[in-house]
């Protein structure tokens, strides 16, 4: 299994991926807002997939947190 796929299989791996992304975007316009951070937390816990996060953000970015909490 490629390392990138293996990282998605565990909480620790997903957390490592998210922390890398957060470090890369820190102090930039790409840094996530609180609702996006919530989505990332749900991804780390295994409650959402990356595809589900993308779908939430594409449907209504300003209401991403509300969409997740309702499901």
pLDDT single digits (tens) 34-69 = 989 999 999 999 999 999 999 988 886 565 455 455
Tokens at residue 57, please?
């953000």
CA distance 28 to 63: 22
19-35 pLDDT, tens per residue? Answer: 999 999 999 988 998 98
17: containing domain: 3-70
The number of domains in the chain is 1
What is the arithmetic mean of pLDDT over 4-22?
91
Query: Residue 16: its pLDDT value, please?
Result: 95
pTM of the model: 0.77
| Number of CB atoms found within 10 A of residue 49's CB | 12
SS3 of 4-65: the string is HHHHHCCHHHHHHHHHHHHHHHCCCCCCCCHHHHHHHHHHHHCCCCHHHHHHHHHHCHHHHH
Q: Between 2 and 57, where is the model more confident?
A: 57
Question: How much is the pLDDT for 45?
Answer: 96
């Amino acid at each position: 299994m490629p390392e990138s796929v293996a990282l998605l299989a565990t909480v620790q791996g997903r957390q490592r991926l998210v922390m890398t992304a957060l470090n890369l975007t820190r102090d930039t316009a790409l840094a996530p807002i609180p609702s996006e951070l919530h989505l990332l937390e749900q991804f780390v816990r295994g409650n959402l997939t990356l595809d589900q996060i993308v779908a939430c953000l594409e449907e209504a970015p300003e209401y991403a947190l509300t969409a997740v909490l309702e499901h």
